[in-house]
């Protein structure tokens, strides 16, 4: 530990003992405790490093006037000290433990009602429970009672911490074989076995679930044996508030047992009982939990799937639970979706009377507003249902697709569809964005269903309706676009998309591109970009075609829309349109197709964005556009307009006010560097080099290297890197420094041995010029500055805006890049967020809040964390 910290710490402890002493900020005590924790974990002993802490803890324990935050901090600190056996022994000899961890002591002082003190007591106790001596103290002090009481604490933080500490007690019991600790374990199990008699049943159940996941077989079996009767009793009470925690306990216990053991069979019976409760909401929750836990019992999973599909079956009238469902029924429903006519409600063939009773209960529930949550539970669990084996599903997946489509039609405000199922529910779900998004999410997953081509036209029609509907929420529109992308991507044959369907979809997309809500416009331009990346498909002409051409008529439709979006008043839309343009034009870049006048205009617009756009989102996207373009080009010579734009993009991007724009610019510079030197030497000057690396390269290699370096200078890469290395934003300077080291490792070993091969670059900017002047002063005889500029007056250079010419290799050699890299790789607060700084802050804050008579005009300067 730092000797300065050791010398200051006693004074800090004295300051903390004074009642009402101010602290630099609300987290100072937590930072101090974090530091002590680090010392305890890395050093020999916390008390050896900080011997004054025992005296501090003893004084606070008797000082009732200390603030609640100081008291809570002290309780945690006591636990941290006692976590080691040596520290525990010292605290025990000082009689601190019994005092600090005695709840009666704090109750008599009138401090126990403060939740801050209670949470400190629990966390301190949790820290100290690391060894057998601490567990013996826990048992002898009878701390199980107050810990169990705190499970029902009105503060959720206190109750949760009590649960975690109780779990740690049992885990520590499991890891220790000493007979002396069995008393604590057995008493804990006795308390937990009386679940139904405790008012805090929810907390007890959460504790049991936590334990059953973490403990090993011996303790787990004992625990299950102790609580099984209580669990069965709670299931029979059918208390809705306990459904979720009960399921957590049962599923946690069930996951670690063999199928042939008796507790496993009892737990399965409990799950069946919960699936046959009289409250529909509880049954739905139980079925969802069973599916999510991937139970091995096939009958249980199949029944859970039937339960979850019941609301969808009832609302839409599609017999999802009719085991005799045939393809004829699917055809009838598709006919209904196409013609929007009302068919006779389908009759369900129920597998058992209990399901029939549940159907009646759910039907009644669906006639109330609470039906929304029930339908959403049904839809959100469809992904789990689709993962089941086909022989366990109550119906083919394409039938579920049909039901979801019908539900979407019922939810659409502008749809004239009527439900052949539960008519009363329609008034609650029509226009409800929550149900719509859940249904669309289910449709996303169902795109993987077998035979999706049969319903692709219906999917496309429903989604077009949503895109056309003026009442569709922007989030619903975004989800609709995602479903289009997903379904088109999994259907290799789009021959079913007719001209009429395509025209309706084009009108919908054009309409949303001009929506008054920026979120809708943003989703639209994002969709146009993502559609380009969908794999090619087959059409009725039996030719391979891009989905963009099939759905929207190709780039002649999308590019003008995206160009128009470059002028959008919302920066998010402008940024999305730039990204979408990059995705749209990428195939032509890869093919080496000649640029059109339209694409040249786009480049000019993007350069204007870099110069003039007021928002960083758009400027970042513009730099990424050029990065994507360069990555797609096979060679710089094939992209003359791109390479002509590089100096402008790099110089403007690296001088941007947004640090992310500068960082993206350096990433573009890195691509150029890698393209110029495809097989670089070791990037660091201290990297190990083979003997062959030390040999002088032949003249041809020198010539190629010189040519590549001149290209980098012409493209503006070197200037951008030298500008970035002195940037005030650490990530930018770090990236530039790494790239300069890489460049130095490539060119300097070769160029230093070559005659008359010096390459100069130009710099502009005050910070860069200052760096150059420092180099000039250090190396006056190294010809760093070109002969053309060597006679310039220093003051004239300072006032001039003209660029300076510098030798690339000389600058790379003279700049102490290794030391700079070492500094930049450190955290930016490695000095000001140090333990010494924290201790000094506490003392400074205490001095500033000192009594009158001292200099109150003293300025208080504190570090920022």
State the SS3 of 157-211.
HHHHHHHHHHHHHHHHHHHCCCHHHHHHHHHHHHHHHCHHHCCCHHHHHHHHHHH
Model confidence band, residue 332 (pLDDT cutoffs 50, 70, 90) = very low
The model's confidence at residue 515, banded by pLDDT at 50, 70 and 90, is: very high
pLDDT above 60 for 378: yes
Q: Return the pLDDT at 522.
A: 97
User: Residue with structure tokens 């009158």?
Assistant: 852
Q: Which residue has the higher pLDDT, 595 or 193?
A: 595
The predicted pLDDT at position 754 comes to 54
Token pair recorded at residue 737: 């420094």
Most confident residue range from 171-175, 444-448, 657-661: 657-661
Mean pLDDT of 550-570: 93
Confidence (pTM): 0.78
pLDDT over 70 for what percent of the chain? 79
Query: Mean pLDDT over residues 357-382, rounded?
Result: 90
In three-state secondary structure terms, 317 is: coil
What pLDDT is stored for residue 154 in this prediction? 87
Contact 372, 435 (CB under 8 A): yes
The pLDDT, as a whole number, for residue 701 is 66
Phi/psi of residue 527, each to 5°?
-60, -40
With bands split at pLDDT 50, 70 and 90, how would you rate the model's confidence at 351? Answer: very low
Band of residue 785 on the pLDDT scale cut at 50, 70, 90: very low
Q: 454 CB contacts (<8 Å, ≥6 apart)?
A: 330, 334, 398
pLDDT given for residue 122 in this prediction: 94
Q: How far apart, in whole angstroms, are the C-alpha atoms of residue 375 and residue 362? A: 10
- Say how far apart CA 500 and CA 835 lie, in whole Å: 71
Both structure tokens of 700: 């041809």
Tokens of 16: 């903390």
Alpha-carbon distances of 265 from 34, 228, 229, 257, 797, rounded to whole Å: 47, 12, 14, 10, 87
Q: Is the pLDDT of residue 571 over 90?
A: yes
- At 787, is the pLDDT very low, low, confident or very high (cuts 50, 70, 90)? very low
Tell me the DSSP string of 506-561.
Answer: HHHHHHHHT-SSHHHHHHHHHHHHHHHTSPPEE-TTS-EE-HHHHHH-SHHHHHHH
Instruction: Give the contacts of 541 (CB within 8 A, at least 6 positions apart).
Output: none
Decide: residue 31, CB within 10 A, 0-12 exposed, 13-18 middle, 19+ buried: middle
The pLDDT value given to residue 576 = 97
| Residue 362, burial from CB neighbour count under 10 angstroms (0-12, 13-18, 19+) | buried
Over residues 753-759, the mean pLDDT reads 59
Integer Cα distance of 621 and 573 in angstroms: 11
Mean pLDDT calculated for residue range 291-320:
89
Mean pLDDT for the stretch of residues 316-331: 61
Query: What pLDDT, on a 0 to 100 scale, did the predictor assign at position 266?
Result: 87
CB proximity list for 532: less than 8 A, separation 6 or greater = 546, 548, 558, 583, 584, 586, 587
Residue, of 469 and 859, whose pLDDT is higher:
469
Task: State the CB neighbour count (10 A cutoff) for residue 245.
Answer: 19
CA distance 861 to 841: 8
> Quick check: 527 pLDDT over 50?
yes
User: Residue 847: pLDDT above 90?
Assistant: no
The pLDDT, as a whole number, for residue 556 is: 92
Q: Per-residue pLDDT averaged across 206-231, rounded?
A: 80
- What pLDDT sits at residue 794? 39
Q: Which residues contact 766 (CB under 8 A, 6 or more apart)?
A: none
The confidence score (pLDDT) of residue 681 equals 47
Over residues 118-131, the pLDDT tens digits come to: 999 999 999 999 88
The predicted structure's pLDDT at residue 790:
42
Residue 176: pLDDT band (50, 70, 90) is low
Mean pLDDT of the chain: 80
Is the four-CA dihedral 831, 833, 835, 839 of positive or negative sign? positive
Confidence of residue 850 (pLDDT cuts 50, 70, 90): low
Kindly state the DSSP code that residue 848 receives in the 8-state scheme: H
pLDDT above 80 for 196: no
606: which 2 tokens?
Answer: 């993007």
Mean pLDDT of 800-812: 66
Give Cα 312 distance to the centre of its chain: 32
Over residues 20-38, the pLDDT tens digits come to 567 877 788 999 999 999 8
Q: What are phi and psi of 294, to 5 degrees?
A: 55, 55
| Main-chain phi, psi angles of 450, to 5 degrees | -70, 145
pLDDT confidence of residue 832: 60
pLDDT: which is higher, 503 or 190: 503
Collapsing DSSP states into helix, strand and coil, what is residue 760? strand
Residue range 354-359: mean pLDDT, rounded: 80
For residue 657, the model assigns a pLDDT of: 93
Return d(Cα 195, Cα 186) in angstroms, integer. 15
**Is residue 492 scored above 80 in pLDDT?**
no
Cβ(747)–Cβ(813) below 8 Å: no
Question: Hey, which residues does 545 pair with through a beta bridge?
Answer: 537
Asked if 12 and 844 count as a contact pair (C-beta separation under 8 A), the reply is: no
User: What pLDDT band is residue 73 in, cutting at 50, 70 and 90?
Assistant: very high
């Amino acid at each position: 530990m730092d000797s300065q910290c050791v010398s200051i710490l006693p004074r800090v402890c004295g300051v903390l003992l004074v009642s009402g002493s101010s602290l630099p900020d609300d987290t100072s005590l937590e930072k101090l405790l974090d530091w002590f924790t680090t010392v305890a974990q890395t050093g020999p002993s916390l008390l050896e490093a900080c011997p004054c802490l025992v005296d501090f803890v003893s004084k606070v324990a008797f000082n009732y006037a200390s603030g609640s935050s100081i008291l809570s901090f002290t309780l945690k600190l006591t636990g941290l000290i006692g976590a080691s056996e040596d520290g525990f022994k010292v605290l025990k000899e000082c009689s601190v433990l019994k005092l600090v961890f005695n709840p009666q002591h704090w109750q008599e002082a009138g401090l126990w009602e403060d939740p801050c003190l209670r949470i400190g007591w629990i966390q301190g106790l949790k820290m100290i429970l690391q060894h057998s001596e601490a567990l013996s103290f826990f048992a002898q002090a009878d701390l199980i009672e107050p810990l169990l009481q705190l499970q029902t604490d009105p503060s959720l933080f206190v109750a949760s911490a009590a649960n975690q500490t109780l779990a740690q007690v049992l885990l520590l019991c499991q890891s220790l074989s000493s007979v002396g600790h069995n008393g604590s374990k057995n008493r804990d199990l006795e308390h937990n076995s009386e679940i139904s008699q405790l008012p805090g049943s929810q907390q007890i159940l959460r504790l049991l679930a936590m334990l059953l996941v973490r403990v090993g077989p011996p303790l787990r079996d004992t625990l299950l044996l102790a609580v099984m009767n209580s669990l069965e009793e709670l299931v029979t009470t059918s208390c809705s508030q306990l459904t979720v925690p009960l399921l957590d306990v049962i599923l946690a216990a069930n996951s670690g047992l063999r199928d042939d053991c008796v507790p496993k069979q009892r737990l399965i019976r409990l799950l069946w009982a919960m699936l046959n409760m009289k409250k529909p909401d509880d049954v739905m929750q139980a079925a969802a939990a069973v599916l999510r836990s991937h139970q091995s019992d096939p009958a249980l999973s199949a029944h859970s799937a039937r339960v979850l599909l019941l609301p969808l079956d009832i609302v839409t009238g599609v017999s999802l639970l009719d085991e005799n469902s045939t393809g004829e029924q699917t055809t009838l429903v598709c006919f209904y979706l196409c013609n929007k006519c009302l068919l006779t409600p389908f009759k369900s063939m129920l597998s058992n009377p209990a399901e029939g009773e549940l159907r009646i209960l759910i039907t009644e529930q669906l006639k109330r507003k609470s039906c929304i949550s029930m339908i959403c539970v049904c839809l959100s669990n469809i992904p789990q249902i689709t993962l089941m084996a086909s022989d366990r599903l109550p119906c083919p997946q394409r039938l579920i697709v049909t039901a979801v489509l019908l539900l979407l039609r019922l939810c659409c405000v502008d749809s004239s569809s009527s439900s052949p199922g539960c008519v009363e529910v329609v008034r609650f779900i029509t226009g409800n964005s929550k149900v719509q998004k859940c249904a669309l999410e289910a449709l996303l997953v169902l795109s993987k269903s077998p035979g999706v081509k049969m319903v692709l036209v219906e999917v496309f029609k429903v989604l077009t309706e949503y895109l056309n509907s003026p009442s569709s929420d922007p989030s619903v529109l975004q989800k609709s676009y995602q479903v289009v992308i997903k379904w088109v991507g999994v259907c290799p044959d789009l021959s079913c998309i007719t001209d009429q369907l395509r025209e309706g979809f084009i009108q919908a997309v054009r309409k949303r591109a001009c929506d008054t809500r920026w979120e809708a416009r943003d989703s639209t331009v994002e969709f146009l970009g993502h559609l380009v990346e969908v794999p090619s498909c087959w059409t009725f002409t039996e030719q391979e075609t891009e989905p963009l051409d099939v759905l929207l008529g190709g780039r002649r439709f999308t590019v003008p829309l995206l160009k128009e979006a470059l002028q959008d008043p919302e920066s998010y839309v402008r940024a999305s349109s730039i990204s979408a343009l990059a995705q749209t034009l990428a195939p032509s870049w890869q093919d080496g197709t000649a640029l059109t006048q339209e694409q040249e205009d786009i480049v000019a617009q993007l350069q204007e964005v870099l110069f003039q756009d007021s928002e960083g989102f758009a400027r970042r996207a513009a730099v990424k556009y050029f990065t994507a373009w360069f990555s797609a080009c096979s060679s710089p010579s094939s992209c003359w307009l791109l390479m002509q734009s590089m100096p402008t993009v790099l110089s403007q991007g690296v001088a941007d006010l947004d640090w992310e724009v500068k960082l993206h610019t350096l990433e573009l510079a890195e691509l150029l560097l890698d393209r110029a030197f495809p097989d670089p030497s070791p990037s660091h000057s201290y990297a190990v080099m083979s003997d062959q690396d030390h040999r002088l390269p032949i003249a041809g290699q020198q010539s190629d290297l010189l040519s590549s370096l001149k290209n980098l200078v012409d493209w503006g890469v070197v200037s951008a890197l030298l500008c970035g290395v002195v940037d005030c934003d650490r990530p930018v300077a770090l990236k530039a420094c790494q790239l300069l080291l890489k460049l130095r490792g490539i060119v300097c070993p070769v160029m230093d041995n070559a005659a008359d091969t010096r390459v100069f670059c130009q710099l502009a900017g005050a910070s860069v010029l200052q760096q150059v002047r420092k180099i000039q002063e250090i190396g006056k005889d190294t010809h760093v500055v070109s002969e053309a500029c060597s006679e310039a007056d220093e003051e004239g250079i300072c006032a001039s805006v003209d660029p300076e010419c510098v030798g690339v290799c000389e600058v790379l050699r003279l700049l102490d890049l290794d030391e700079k890299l070492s500094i930049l790789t450190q955290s930016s607060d490695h000095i000001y967020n140090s333990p010494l700084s924290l201790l000094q802050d506490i003392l400074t804050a205490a001095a500033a809040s000192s009594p009158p008579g001292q200099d109150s005009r003293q300025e208080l300067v504190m570090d920022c964390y």
